[in-house]
Structure 1
Amino acid sequence: MKFRTLGKHNLHVSALGLGCMGMSDMYGATERSESIATIHAALDAGISLLDTGDFYGMGHNEMLVGEALAGRLRDSYLLSVKFGAQRGPGGEWLGYDARPSAVKTALAYSLRRLRTDYVDIYRPARLDPNVPIEDTVGAIADLVKEGYVRHLGLSEMGVDTIRRAASVLPVVDLQIEYSLISRGIEQAILPTCRELGTGITAYGVLSRGLISGHWSKERSTDARDFRTHSPRFQGDNLDHNLALVDLLRELAEARGVSVAQLAIAWVLARGEDIVPLVGARSRSRLTEALGALDINLSTEDLAAIERAIPSGAAAGDRYSAQGMASLDSER
C-alpha cells in the first residue's frame, strides 16, 4: 500500500480510503456478509482510512463497521465519521443539527456503535445554516481536548467556512466530491485548502458508478437507490454522460486497464494531498480499485484524458435541487 499525508498535519493515511456508506444506505440492497468481508479485505490490503456517518442507515453503517473491526488493533486503522444530518424513521431528510450539544451527543452514540473510545476525524456532514461554524468547531475542539476526537474534518464546505473553521481548530481534511466529471473544487476550494494545509478526501471519484465502466442504460435501480433520482442518471443526461464514459473506455483499453481504474488514477494524480475514497461494496470492486495504485499517468496521459472529458463536460447536477441547496461548497 502507498501512503499519503493529509495536508500539513502529519496524518499518514493509505493512498486510497474505503467509503462504507453504500454498505448500508443510498444504493439499494446490500449483503451484510460481503460488506464485512470487503472491509476485512481492505484492511488486509493496507487501506487504513474508513469513512462512515451516523446517518448512514440511521446507525446501521457504524454498527456494521464496528462489527467488522472487532479484534483489529485500534492503531491499525483510522475512522472518519460524519454527523449532523437529521432523518426521520422513513429515511426522509429533515435538515442538519450542528449545535454544540448535538455534536457531543452524536459522538457519544457513534463511539458506542463503532465500539471505540475515539474517532480519528470528526466532521459535520454539511453546514448547519442556523449555527455558526465556529460554535460547531468549538465543540469538536472540546472533544479533541478530552481525547474523544483526534482531528477536525469538514465536508462540502465553501472557502469562507473553511477559513472560519480553521481559525478555531486546524482542519486536517475536507471531504468533497471530486472526479473527472465533478471538478468544481479546482477553482477556489482546492487552492484554499492547500494554502491552509488542509488535505482532500475525495468521494464520488466514480460519480456513484456512473463513470465506473459498469453502468448502462439497462441497469435497474430501486426506490432506495440515490441514482433513481440523481439528475446525472436521468434521460438525455444519462445518454450524454455514458458517451463520455465510452471515450474514457477507449483510453483505458489502450492502456490495458479498466475504466474505473483510469478514473481513480486520474484523481490520485491530482496531488499527493488528495486521497480518493472508493465506495466498493464487494471484494471484486475493491480489487479493481486497488489496481489504480499501479497506474502512473504521464503528462501526455493526463492531457488525453482531459481532452476526452474536459472540465464541465457532464450533463446534470450532482444532486437534486434540494441537495444542491444544502451544499455550502456550491455557493
Structure 2
Amino acid sequence: MEEVVIVPKRKLGSQGFEVSAIGLGCMGMSPLHGSPKPEQEMIQVIQTAIELGVTFLDTSDLYGPHTNSSIIGKALEGEIRQKMQLATKFGIKSLSGDKKMVVCGDPAYVKEACNASLKQLGINCIDLFYVHRIDTSIPIELTVGALKELVEEGKIKYIGLSEASPQTIRRAHAVHPITAVQLEWSLWTRDAEEEVIPTCRELGIGIVPFSPLGKGFFSKGPKLVENFADNDFRRSLPKFQGENLEHNMIVFERVNEMAKKKECTPSQLALAWLLHQGDDVVPIPGTTKIENLKQNIGSAFVKLTKEEMTEIESIAAAVKGDRYSPAVMQDTWKYANTPPLSSWQDA
C-alpha cells in the first residue's frame, strides 16, 4: 500500500487563498509544440495529483487553445472539484508560430473571456483569474475594474497578474487586492528578484513561479535537448543554443552532484530552492507523467540549510544565456506598463 503524502499548504496573498505548496501547471497537456497528449492519460495525471494532495491547478484559455480547459473540466467532474483550487488566465487572444501575441484587456473582453472559461471548464466560479499579459493600450485600472465586478458577481474569487511590472502591480492593487503574480522564476531565471518580487512582498501578494525547472532543463538536463521535437520552441531559446548550452550542461552536472549528496533528484533540488525562498511562493511545475509528478511533490520535503542555499545559488550564478531572443524579450516585457488612467479619462 502506497504511503499517503500530505502536501503542505501555503497562503497566496492576504485574502485567505490557501493552496498546496506545489501546484500543477497544465500547459504541456495541450502543447504549443510537439504532438497532442492522450486526453485520458492527462485526466489521470490531474486526478492523481489531486489524490496525492496537490490542490492548485494552472491553465489558460490560450493553451490548446481552449482544449486544455476542456481536459481539466473533464478531470474535475463531480465532487473532486471541491478538493482543489483552479487558476486560469485570459488576455492573449491568439498565438501561432512566430506571430505576435494579440493582447486584450478591454473590460468587455474581460467578461467575455471569463464567461467562456467558465463554460469550457464546466464550473460556475474561477478561484484565481489572471491577466495573462498586460494590454499596453488601456489603463490597467480599467482591466482590473472589470475583474472586480466579476468578483462581486461571484464568477471569480481572486485576481492575479502575469508578467507585470512593479508599477502595473501597484496600480492594479489599488483598484482591487491582487492575490498572486505569476512570473518566470527558477535557478536559471532570476531577474524578477530585482524589483517585481520585492514589490509583491511589500503589498502582500503571493508569488507563483512558472517554468520553475528552467523549461524542463533541471529535470532532464542534456537528455531534454536531445529529445526536442523539430517544432519545439525551446530550440530558439538562447540558453539552449551553442556555447550557452555547453556551459549550462556543466551547471546541470554540478546541480546533479549536489542532488545526489542530498539524496534527491536535480528537479527536486531546484524546486526545493524555490520553496525555501518564502512561504508566499508556490511553484507550478508542469508534467504529463505521473512519475515526474510524484518527484515534484517530493520536493516539498527536501530541506536545505542556509549553507546549501548559498552553494546552489553559486552554482546557478554561472548559467549563461538570456531568457528569450531579443525580439521575444521585447514582446514579453513590453506589456508591463499601461497608459495612466488620467490620460484615458481626458481623451
Which of 130, 133, 136 is residue 126 of structure 1 equivalent to?
133
CA–CA distance in structure 1, aligned partners of residues 225 and 232 of structure 2: 15
CA–CA distance in structure 2, aligned partners of residues 15 and 33 of structure 1: 26
Could you tell me which residue of structure 1 aligns to residue 268 of structure 2?
261
3-state SS, counterpart of residue 5 of structure 1 = strand
Does the 8 A contact of 2:183 with 2:210 survive in 1? Answer: yes
CA–CA distance in structure 2, aligned partners of residues 27 and 305 of structure 1: 31
CA–CA distance in structure 2, aligned partners of residues 75 and 227 of structure 1: 36
**Comparing 90-99 with 313-322, which one deviates more in the overlay?**
90-99
Could you tell me which residue of structure 1 aligns to residue 323 of structure 2?
318
Could you tell me which residue of structure 2 aligns to residue 245 of structure 1?
252
Q: After superposition, what is the alpha-carbon deviation per residue over 1:94-126, rounded to whole angstroms, capped at 9, x for unaligned?
A: 420111111111111111110000101111111
Does the 8 A contact of 2:87 with 2:126 survive in 1? Answer: yes
Could you tell me which residue of structure 1 aligns to residue 4 of structure 2?
none
3-state SS, counterpart of residue 315 of structure 1 = coil
CA–CA distance in structure 2, aligned partners of residues 205 and 176 of structure 1: 10
Offset at 1:74? 3.1
1:114 maps to a residue whose letter is L
Q: After superposition, what is the alpha-carbon deviation per residue over 1:230-271, rounded to whole angstroms, capped at 9, x for unaligned?
A: 222122221111111111011001111110000000000000
Offset at 1:224? 3.9
3-state SS, counterpart of residue 271 of structure 1 = coil
Does the 8 A contact of 2:216 with 2:224 survive in 1? Answer: no
Aligned length: 329
CA 1:37–1:264 in structure 2 vs 1: closer, same or farther (change >3 Å)? same
CA–CA distance in structure 2, aligned partners of residues 89 and 274 of structure 1: 31
Offset at 1:90? 7.0
Q: After superposition, what is the alpha-carbon deviation per residue over 1:208-240, rounded to whole angstroms, capped at 9, x for unaligned?
A: 111223443761322442212222212222111
Does the 8 A contact of 2:133 with 2:335 survive in 1? Answer: no
Does the 8 A contact of 1:210 with 1:242 survive in 2? Answer: no
CA–CA distance in structure 2, aligned partners of residues 251 and 93 of structure 1: 40
Could you tell me which residue of structure 2 aligns to residue 64 of structure 1?
71
Could you tell me which residue of structure 2 aligns to residue 159 of structure 1?
166
CA–CA distance in structure 1, aligned partners of residues 183 and 335 of structure 2: 8
**Comparing 147-156 with 74-83, which one deviates more in the overlay?**
74-83
Offset at 1:73? 3.8
Offset at 1:319? 2.3
CA–CA distance in structure 1, aligned partners of residues 84 and 170 of structure 2: 28
Could you tell me which residue of structure 1 aligns to residue 282 of structure 2?
275
CA–CA distance in structure 2, aligned partners of residues 257 and 84 of structure 1: 38
What 5-or-longer segments of structure 2 have no aligned partner?
1-6, 338-347
Counterpart mapping for 1:89-104 below 5 A: 92-104=99-111
CA–CA distance in structure 1, aligned partners of residues 235 and 38 of structure 2: 20
3-state SS, counterpart of residue 274 of structure 1 = coil
CA 1:272–1:95 in structure 2 vs 1: closer, same or farther (change >3 Å)? same
Could you tell me which residue of structure 2 aligns to residue 43 of structure 1?
50
The TM-score normalised by the length of structure 1 is 0.94
Counterpart mapping for 1:197-236 below 5 A: 197-216=204-223, 219-236=226-243
Compare the two structures and name the one with the higher helix fraction.
2
Does the 8 A contact of 1:7 with 1:194 survive in 2? Answer: no
1:255 maps to a residue whose letter is K
What 5-or-longer segments of structure 1 have no aligned partner?
none
Could you tell me which residue of structure 1 aligns to residue 24 of structure 2?
18
Which of 14, 31, 36 is residue 8 of structure 1 equivalent to?
14
Q: After superposition, what is the alpha-carbon deviation per residue over 1:149-174, rounded to whole angstroms, capped at 9, x for unaligned?
A: 10110001010000000010000000
CA–CA distance in structure 1, aligned partners of residues 236 and 80 of structure 2: 40
